[in-house]
Chains A and B, each alone.
Chain A
Amino acid sequence: MEKQKLILIGNGMAGIRTLEEVLKLEPDTFDITVFGKEPYPNYNRIELSKVLQGDTSVSDITLNEWHWYEDNNIRLYPGETVTRIDKEQKIVYTDKDREESYDQLIIATGSDPVILPLPGIDKEGVTAFRDIKDCEKMVDYSKKYKKAAVIGGGLLGLEAARGLLNLGMEVDVIHLCDSLMERQLDKEAGTLLKEELEEQGMHFLLEKQTSEILGNDHVSGLRFNDGEEIEADLIVMAVGIKPNVALAKESGIEVNRGIVVNDYLETNDPNIFSVGECAEHREMVYGLVAPLYQQAQVLAKRICGMGGDGYQGSVLSTQLKVSGVDVFSTGQIMENEHTKAIKVFDDWRGVYKKIVVEQGKITGAVLFGDTGDGNRLLNLIKKGADVEEYTDTDQNQEAGAGLVADMPDDELICGCNGVTKGTIIEAIETQGLNSVEQVKGCTNASRSCGTCKSLVSDLLEYTLGEEYDENQKETVCGCTTLSKDEVIAEIKEKGMTNTREVMNVLGWKNEEGCAKCKPALNYYLGMLYPTEYEDERESRFVNERLHANIQKDGTFGVIPRMYGGVTNAQDLRKIADVAEKYDVGMIKLTGGQRINLLGVNKQDLPNIWEELDMPSGHAYAKGLRTVKTCVGSEFCRFGTQDSTGLGIRLEKKFEGLSGPHKLKMGVSACPRNCAEGGVKDVGVVGLEGVWEIYVGGNGGTDLRQADLLCKVETGDEVLEWVGAFLQYYRETANYLDRTSVWVEKMGIEHIREVVGNKEKRDELNERMDLALSAIQEPWSEAINNGTLLKDLYEKVNA
């Protein structure tokens, strides 16, 4: 029998979810074709905010990889727009002159951003915030320009503004009302939100109406209707969305605000359905995934010819995805003469809670600062529960397994995908799941906005008890299902000696690995067998292969070592000579107290090293980089100890040491801590007769204050403790976990216990000494090795 032809217009979240549901019900019944305007496979639009905020890359937000379409025999036409539907002939036409006939057609074209028709709106530098292209544009602009203006103080606008701040721009948010997110938040919560975001660096212009966009070809600013003007190089329109109905309308399908559908998502044409943001159901158009996914389920049943109750509309809940701000809003939140409200306002902790009650039932809630109760409230509203059901159990519950234990089985865990506690527990038990990733794969929980990940993890802990280890499923990379610990155990057991052997024996999915696992395995092998293992250059990232820092144009930076940031006239002279002779692009002082020669050609590297005759500063290394020092007792009037001397000792001892990630140290001679040891992997602070050792600090992406490891009296002891600490890190951390992440994972108490145990400390130092004994100075190694010079540094001029 010939398969029924099913066509989906719109390769987005609602449409593809519908197909997933259809395939679950009827895997082989339909011949499916998908047209998508965007040139990508279906991706998680929600996470664009995270992409903009820098937490995630575009490649991480794909929901359905290209092969998913292939595996399910779905014909996908990416980058192709459907331009016309012929209802009578049942044919769709595209902008690439394709025509395709259907038996059933789904329109899931989503929304378009609302672009206000202001004078000057066509100028360059105006963007919406809807898709990958917009996101890329903002990232590009942030590299060239300084000032951004976001029009719209709703969810989307605030998430865009937060992202632009993270990208280093100054951001003005312009909002028509006097309160932010006024549709979801009341005045109190709106004010708290504004205060919090102002603290994060956002600037607000409330009750302002934009009247004109200023500039020539490119925007230069905004004018408001009160005459005031501000400067801006980038303008983000986030004033709302409108259902994308043009295609349906032109094709004669009934359209109101959205494409009008009934409870079974049927349009007024018997063969055409609509789902997602473009659809209007009972005069409601939804703009969040939770209701759209419910629609998708109903539509799939309808298409597969199964009945069901149809779609009954949804109660919405919203959360703002800005780190450091917890806001939750659901249901009817405005008060009137028929409502009463429970309000709790803790100005000190910045926590606000309002629960709106009408005729004894909860109808809405706003939470700020502590949103732990959010899903429970949403559920109570949906059930039409009496307010007592909430107040009776409303006590300060602790987080973790204890909290999820008390939830009823029908409590929603994942709001986006409508997955309850009961469903997740059943999946864990019947399908033997033991990781958040697996629960996501089997139940969809945490697959959209991701806010419920920690609850899912708690549920795993609650259901599996001891067996569940939160970190166990962190695999080395996508090429394997094994974790670092499993891989290391296998390497030891089977005595494997190179990365290819490991990949081969342990059944890597990609025979030759990827850019993530190759350097990781290379590190683990070197760490396990410091004296025997031969480092694999081809498994190194270019910087560590060439022992120089690659720059964006393919030239390199050369940073020679200056122990403790101390130099002398002779070295400076050599550096100056080399810089002149090789005409380097820039001579720059680094943040690590040394000198960088930038813009060096690859072929010149060996000559420069030879002429410098200084050791490599390892500024490119996953390993010890610099030890910053303060001037200390030798000159400083506050100095208590010889910080410079100790810094130099540390740097000389650990120079060239490899690690799971880069290592930076600092040594200061009083608590003023001029070498900034509080944000270093190892920070040492001298007091009268005492050295304090701090560990796990980070001054970069994951800003973290270091924890005190111990206090010791002598420099020798500092070396001993630092040696043991570093070796323990080298042996137990995942490749690419900085000490800051590793200390969080292990817990500082545990590390203190291990390193504090004299016997263990000695053992660790023994292994450290072995590792140190195998280190070769890389620059002189290269200069003296003809093969290396030819293989790595020469170009061919043919």
Chain B
Amino acid sequence: MERTLSRVLIGNYSELPERLGKTVIIGDKEIAVFKLANGKIRAIENRCPHKGGVLAEGMVSGEHIFCPMHNWKINVNNGQAQAPDEGCVGTYQVEVKNNSVYVLV
């Protein structure tokens, strides 16, 4: 099924803190945006599949984020919780153009 995505500007690339998360609110959605050590930006739902922890405050390690509540490990590329835990969070596409970062929602 096709669904139209809108592109929402969330800030300047250079101003996002590296290896940290940022809480971004778009309408009724709360999104955790990370700038990884390799420079990539990733956006996932800011709600841990375990008990709703705020993932934006977690510790970033490579392509994973450790939830600050009970340390679940979540892949920021596909939103999957890592074994032995199970579950996933929604992921959002990100575009970076001329220092502007957009999230597609």
Contact = CB atoms under 8 A, between A and B. Distances in A.
Interface of A: 39-41, 43, 58-59, 62, 65-66, 500, 510-515, 518-519, 537-542, 545-546, 550, 552-554, 602, 790-792, 795-798
Given A796-B24, A798-B24, A513 B68 contact: no
A782 to B, nearest CB: 14
B68 A41 contact: no
B103 A518 contact: no
Contact of A510 (B8, B51, B62): B62
B41 interface: no
A513 B61 contact: yes
B54 interface: yes
Interface in B6-61: 8-11, 15, 17-20, 22-26, 33, 37, 51-54, 57-61
Given A541-B59, A791-B20, A515 B83 contact: no
A550 B48 CA distance: 15
A542 B51 contact: no
A553 B61 CA distance: 23
Contact of A797 (B25, B37, B73): B25
A514 B66 contact: yes
Nearest to A132: B84
B59 A43 contact: no
User: Which of B15, B18, B22, B52 is the most central at the interface, judged by chain A CB atoms within 10 Å of its CB?
Assistant: B22
A58 B24 contact: no
B19 A796 contact: no
Contacts of A538: 17-20, 59-60
A546 B52 CA distance: 19
Nearest to B60: A538
A554 B62 contact: no
Contacts of B51: 552
B59 A518 contact: yes
B83 A65 contact: yes
Contacts of A602: 23
Contacts of A798: 8-11, 24-26, 103
Contacts of A790: 15
A153 to B, nearest CB: 31
Contacts of A541: 59, 68
A49 to B, nearest CB: 17
A796 B10 contact: yes
A80 to B, nearest CB: 14
B59 A554 contact: no
Contacts of B24: 795-798
Contacts of A554: 53-54, 57
B89 to A, nearest CB: 14
Contact of A512 (B10, B17, B61): B61
B8 A537 contact: no
Contacts of B11: 796, 798
A62 B84 contact: yes
Given A510-B61, A518-B59, A550 B8 contact: no
B84 A515 contact: no
Nearest to A43: B84
10 contacts: A39-B86, A66-B83, A510-B61, A537-B20, A538-B19, A541-B59, A553-B52, A790-B15, A795-B23, A797-B25
B37 A512 contact: yes
Contacts of A550: 54, 57, 68-69
A523 to B, nearest CB: 14
Nearest to A790: B15
Contacts, number: 90
Given A41-B83, A518-B59, A538-B59, 16 more contacts: A59-B84, A511-B62, A512-B37, A512-B61, A538-B18, A542-B59, A550-B69, A552-B52, A552-B69, A553-B52, A792-B17, A795-B25, A797-B25, A798-B11, A798-B25, A798-B26
B71 interface: yes
B23 A796 contact: yes
A561 B6 CA distance: 47
B54 A539 contact: no
Contact of B61 (A62, A515, A540, A542): A515
Contacts of A58: 84-85
A636 B52 CA distance: 48
B32 to A, nearest CB: 11
Given A554-B54, A796-B10, A796-B22, A518 B85 contact: no
Contacts of B33: 796
Contact of B57 (A514, A515, A546): A546
Contacts of A518: 59, 61
Contact of B84 (A41, A519, A553): A41
B59 to A, nearest CB: 5
Given A791-B20, A797-B25, A59 B59 contact: no
A791 B23 contact: no
B9 to A, nearest CB: 6
User: Which of B53, B58, B83 is the most central at the interface, judged by chain A CB atoms within 10 Å of its CB?
Assistant: B83
Nearest to A555: B54
Nearest to B19: A538
B18 A542 contact: no
A66 to B, nearest CB: 5
A58 B66 CA distance: 16
A554 B25 CA distance: 14
B94 to A, nearest CB: 12
Contacts of B22: 795-796
User: Which of B11, B23, B26, B37 is the most central at the interface, judged by chain A CB atoms within 10 Å of its CB?
Assistant: B23
A513 B85 CA distance: 19
A66 B82 CA distance: 10
A542 B86 CA distance: 23
A59 B85 contact: yes
A13 to B, nearest CB: 16
Nearest to B25: A797
Nearest to B27: A798
User: Which of A43, A541, A542, A792 is the most central at the interface, judged by chain B CB atoms within 10 Å of its CB?
Assistant: A542
Nearest to B61: A512
A11 to B, nearest CB: 13
A500 B62 CA distance: 11
Nearest to A554: B54
A797 to B, nearest CB: 5
B21 to A, nearest CB: 9
Nearest to A603: B23
Contact of A542 (B10, B17, B68, B84): B68
A519 B54 CA distance: 19
Contacts of B68: 541-542, 550
A315 to B, nearest CB: 34
B10 A539 contact: no
B105 to A, nearest CB: 9
A546 B21 CA distance: 12
Contacts of A519: 59
A539 B59 contact: yes
Contacts of A511: 62
Nearest to A537: B20
Nearest to B16: A791
A45 to B, nearest CB: 14
A519 B71 CA distance: 13
B61 A514 contact: yes
A57 to B, nearest CB: 9
A169 B94 CA distance: 47
B59 A515 contact: yes
Contacts of A39: 86
Nearest to B103: A798
Contacts of A792: 17, 20
Interface in B73-105: 73, 83-86, 103
A574 B22 CA distance: 31
Q: Which 3 A-B pairs have the closest CB atoms?
A: A554-B54, A515-B66, A538-B19
A66 B73 CA distance: 15
A41 B86 CA distance: 12
A515 B71 contact: yes
A98 B39 CA distance: 43
B84 to A, nearest CB: 5
Contacts of B66: 514-515
Contacts of A510: 61-62
